[in-house]
């Protein structure tokens, strides 16, 4: 059974307030998207990576040209949609002629450049044996409060039952595609693949991953990512 990766990178980074989409911001001499691509490509079981870009992206073509040798023929480029789940669906649609229905697909955010190869490998080895699929996640450390619209605290919830959803998320090709298509048809919104699977009635498994697999959302995250990448380089933590 083949393993594929889809890298949604078609966001415009609205919350970041930068003129450059966040996946193209440079840290340690390489844009974030390239860091993320390298982490995925270090996993030899992944046969191809589908990179999903914005239709008006004028940076990818140049970057791809400069990395042709590094990634050989492992990258396929596809145009994204208005929402993340539409971009992922476009990536999956591009695989229709290539993938078997039970092939595994790992979906990973282009703006999570610090994911450790060992975490991806652990996800693959654990989820390959699971009937549905699963995702990397991390436990919640802070006390969790539920608040109302006026920010008044309603209650303290049991954090043991709550996990942060990270990526990659790994599901079977046809089940994932059909689940996202059903979400699109119903007009619902989901922010990750696991949510689409949950809506379809499946129960994905949570696999504990490193907490340094952070997603760049705000400008302050850049400093953190830069430090994490430095630490990982010095202790070989990217492995």
Chain residues in the site for ligand C5P (CB under 6 A): 8-11, 23, 52, 80-84, 87, 109-111, 215, 217
Nearer to ligand C5P, 90 or 210 (CB): 90
Write the burial class of residue 225 (CB in 10 Å: 0-12 exposed, 13-18 middle, 19+ buried).
buried
Name the closest residue to ligand C5P (Cβ). 11
Whether the CB-CB separation of 137 and 206 falls below 8 Å is answered with: yes
Nearer to ligand C5P, 82 or 220 (CB): 82
Contacts of 182 (CB under 8 A, 6+ apart): 196, 199, 200
Q: How far is the CB of 196 from ligand C5P (least distance, A)?
A: 14
Q: How far is the CB of 1 from ligand C5P (least distance, A)?
A: 26
Q: Say which residue the tokens 């390489």 belong to.
A: 30
| Range 163-176 burial, b when 16+ CB lie within 10 A, else e | ebbbbbbbbbbbbb
> d(Cα 48, Cα 44) in Å, to the nearest integer?
10
Nearer to ligand C5P, 3 or 10 (CB): 10
Q: How far is the CB of 18 from ligand C5P (least distance, A)?
A: 13
Nearer to ligand C5P, 76 or 130 (CB): 76
Nearer to ligand C5P, 126 or 184 (CB): 184
Q: How far is the CB of 221 from ligand C5P (least distance, A)?
A: 10
Q: How far is the CB of 84 from ligand C5P (least distance, A)?
A: 4
Relative to beta strand 46-53, strand 3-9 is: parallel
């Amino acid at each position: 059974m083949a393993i594929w990766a889809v890298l949604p990178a078609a966001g415009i980074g609205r919350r970041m307030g930068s003129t450059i989409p966040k996946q193209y911001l440079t840290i340690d001499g390489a844009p974030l998207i390239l860091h993320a691509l390298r982490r995925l490509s270090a996993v030899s079981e992944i046969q191809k990576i589908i990179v999903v870009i914005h239709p008006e992206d004028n940076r990818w073509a140049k970057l791809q040209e400069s990395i042709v040798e590094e990634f050989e023929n492992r990258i396929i480029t596809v145009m994204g949609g208005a929402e993340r789940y539409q971009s992922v669906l476009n990536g999956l649609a591009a695989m229709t002629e290539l993938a078997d229905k039970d092939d595994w697909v790992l979906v990973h955010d282009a703006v999570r450049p610090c994911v450790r190869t060992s975490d991806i490998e652990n996800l693959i080895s654990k989820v390959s044996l699971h009937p549905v699929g699963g995702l990397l996640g991390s436990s919640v450390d802070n006390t969790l409060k539920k608040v109302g619209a006026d920010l008044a605290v309603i209650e303290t919830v049991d954090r043991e039952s709550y996990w942060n959803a990270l990526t990659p998320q790994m599901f079977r090709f046809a089940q994932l595609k059909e689940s996202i298509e059903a979400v699109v048809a119903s007009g619902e919104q989901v922010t990750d693949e696991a949510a689409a699977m949950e809506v379809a009635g499946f129960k994905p498994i949570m696999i504990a991953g490193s907490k340094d697999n952070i997603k760049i959302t705000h400008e302050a995250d850049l400093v953190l990512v830069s430090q994490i990448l430095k630490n990982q380089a010095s202790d070989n933590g990217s492995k």
